[in-house]
Chain A
């Protein structure tokens, strides 16, 4: 069974740049997986940041960007702010039909 992988945790300094990744235990991530990214703070529903690899959802600032880096999907935060401290989840569309698999999430600390 293929698992979607994310870094469990990451830290970034205020104003810095950080890239979180989303991979597969078997194979490479491509745009055909329609990678998407979500931000979630404790007690809140997730918020969609990026979908279809690199399209920002409505209202998302342009310091959040998505891409494919090597064999993984990537979320880059440029100019990190204190309120970016959250959990970030990716999801991939797998195979034919409708089937989505979430990664385990990355806890981002801004300090």
Chain B
């Protein structure tokens, strides 16, 4: 059974880069699925950040595209998120997830809270 686990710093300073990694176990990241990042500010709703396929093809939310990079490391069975020039508005629980093409059948990680603060 596939499991996803987010990891990375829980505190990032304003204007710096937020970096998170999702480690996938129980399934090869080279399989026929998309790998996504989704976030949720405290007390608010979910926001799709972007997705990547194992080939390296990436897809980003238009509202975040200028600041986001998602990458994949098939040798480590991991994919990563970088969000630059962060502000307090980027404070959120960040989830990594897996979904099939054209399907919202996400398998979710447990999420990790990232706080942007001096």
A residues with a Cβ closer than 8 A to B are: 34-36, 38, 45-48, 51-52, 55, 57, 89, 91, 93, 97-105
Contact = CB atoms under 8 A, between A and B. Distances in A.
Interface string B71-102: 00000000000000000000000010000001
Interface residues of B, number: 22
B45 A104 contact: yes
Which of A45, A93, A104 has the largest number of chain B CB atoms within 10 A? A45
B61 A48 contact: no
A1 B98 CA distance: 26
A99 B105 contact: no
A65 to B, nearest CB: 16
Contact of A48 (B47, B104, B109, B110): B104
Given A45-B109, A45-B111, A89-B46, A100 B104 contact: yes
B45 A103 contact: yes
Contacts of B61: 99
Contacts of A52: 102-105
B45 A36 contact: no
Contact of A45 (B45, B104, B105, B110): B110
Contacts of A91: 46, 48, 104
Nearest to B102: A34
Contact of B104 (A47, A93, A104, A105): A93
B68 interface: no
A46 B48 contact: no
Contacts of B106: 36, 38, 46, 48
